[in-house]
Structure 1
Amino acid sequence: MVTSLNVQSKLPADERRAVTVEAVIALAGSQNPSDITTAAIAKHMNLTQGALFRHFPSKDSIWQSVMEWVADRLLARIDSAAEGTSSPLSAMQAMFMSHIDFVVEHPGVPRMMFGQLQSTEETAAKKMAQTLIQRYSERVRARIEEGKAIGEITSEVDTQAAATLFVGTIQGLVMQSLLSGDLLRMRADAPGVFAIYQRGMRNVQ
């Protein structure tokens, strides 16, 4: 729902920036993120471009804020999912499924991530996307090492390769769902896909 101009004008600066980020994510769910202009963002929010630029000095700063939002929300989501699980592999499964749910709820996010990572320009938003992947991978590697330490995951597993495969498997599911136009397909496919991943990790001795 588009907030009215009068309501928008009364929002505190931090809240206005948050609403702008949400508007970009919503637009990215229905169109190519590279085609999103500041005019389109302002129109979606029922604002003038001048009002938009009072809180963001440039379009790049908007995209940086969007990627910061994605990083904060996604990492908090997987951290929360992993809490209280019974084992490292259970934690990884919870992280895997919560990531899938996050994408289904915010379909514009993977479009923006892929767009930023494919960009040839070293923008602040691209660096944030790269940092997100690094921080995400660190969490996965930590769980794998925990699994090895307690004997749940075989010591023969290459931790770095397994973490790369974990992230890449999610990206593959996301890409196939985007190509098919059916994001809910991810939820249906994810449990079976993770089961195969887990089978290759588990210590069967």
Structure 2
Amino acid sequence: MSQRQHLSAEERRERTVETVVTLCSEEEPATLTTGRIAQRMGVTQGALFRHFPNKDAIWAAVVAWVSDQVMARVAAAAEGVDDPLAALEAMFLAHAAFIAEHPGVPRLLMGQLQHPRPTPASRMVRSLLARYRRRLLELLEEAERRRQLRPELELDVAATQFIGTLQGLVVQSLIADDVTRIGERAPAAFDLYQHGIRAAGGDA
């Protein structure tokens, strides 16, 4: 108990984010209450709201953490990889590995996008998708310059399909109730994706 009492405000916020991410892997995010979050943390709701003004602020902090983690993971995976298609594959696998480690994240993000009204968290999810998409387009444009892609390929569609392939894996894993194995399925999924965009005669 004394350890919890001596946590700094920033440490308390970080612990709240970690708790929400964990709970989203166990429960439906849409029905997750601040009372449930506080209960898991072993604090009162009053203590929770000393660090967050409201529930929206909690969700915004969680999405901010997810955004930072995802972008850092995919950037690190692609760093130093000269071939743009190999960099795309590294990003795809790194993203899948992150989801396997944090199985509640896909449901959390999808739940925010389905929110009936705009919230700070839902806007942040859309911002994450826009940043991610820009990075994909940079790599696809470089692959196009190197003539690695089919001549008629629409890069915007290719970027959308990259994200869609990941989302398809997530949905299949959610249906099977086994998100942790998404990393095992990711290489084959990316192989199918790249066959759809690669120039004829290119290396597999």
* Among 101, 106, 114, the residue aligned to 2:97: 101
**How do residues 68-87 of structure 1 correspond to structure 2 at under 5 angstroms?**
68-87=64-83
In structure 1, what is the equivalent of residue 157 of structure 2? 161
The offset of 1:54, in angstroms, is 0.6
Give the match for residue 50 of structure 1: 46
TM-score, structure 1 normalization: 0.94
127, 132, 135: which one pairs with 1:131? 127
Structure 1 residue 114 corresponds to structure 2 residue 110 = yes
Q: Does 1:196 align with 2:187?
A: no
Q: How many residues are matched?
A: 201
Q: Distance in 2 between matches of 1:203 and 1:49?
A: 57
Give 1:156 shift.
2.1
Alpha-carbon distance, 1:186 to partner: 1.9
The residue aligned with 1:65 is: 61
Q: TM-score, normalised by structure 2?
A: 0.95
Q: Which moved more, 1:183-192 or 1:74-83?
A: 183-192
Identity level (%): 45
User: Could you tell me how far apart the structure 1 residues matched to 2:145 and 2:27 are?
Assistant: 45
Separation in 1, partners of 2:197, 2:82: 17
Q: What are the superposed Cα offsets for residues 88-122 of structure 1, whole Å, 9 maximum, x if unpaired?
A: 00000000001100000001100101100111110
Give the whole-Å Cα distance in 1 for the aligned partners of 2:67 and 2:83: 25
Identify which range, 55-64 or 151-160, moves more after superposition.
151-160
In structure 2, what is the Cα distance between the partners aligned to 1:143 and 1:133?
A: 16
Contact 2:99–2:180 (CA under 8 A) maintained in structure 1 = no
In the other structure, the counterpart of 2:32 is 36
SS of residue in 2 equivalent to 1:107: coil
Q: Which runs of 5+ in 2 are unaligned?
A: none
Question: C-alpha displacement at 1:179, in angstroms?
Answer: 0.8
- Structure 1 residue runs of 5 or longer lacking an equivalent are none
Q: How far apart are 1:50 and its partner, in Å?
A: 1.0
Deviation at 1:143, TM superposition (A): 0.5
Q: CA deviation at 1:11?
A: 1.1
- Provide the rounded CA distance (Å) in 2 between the counterparts of 1:78 and 1:63: 22
Hey, what does 2:4 align to over in structure 1? 8
* Cα RMSD, aligned residues only: 1.1
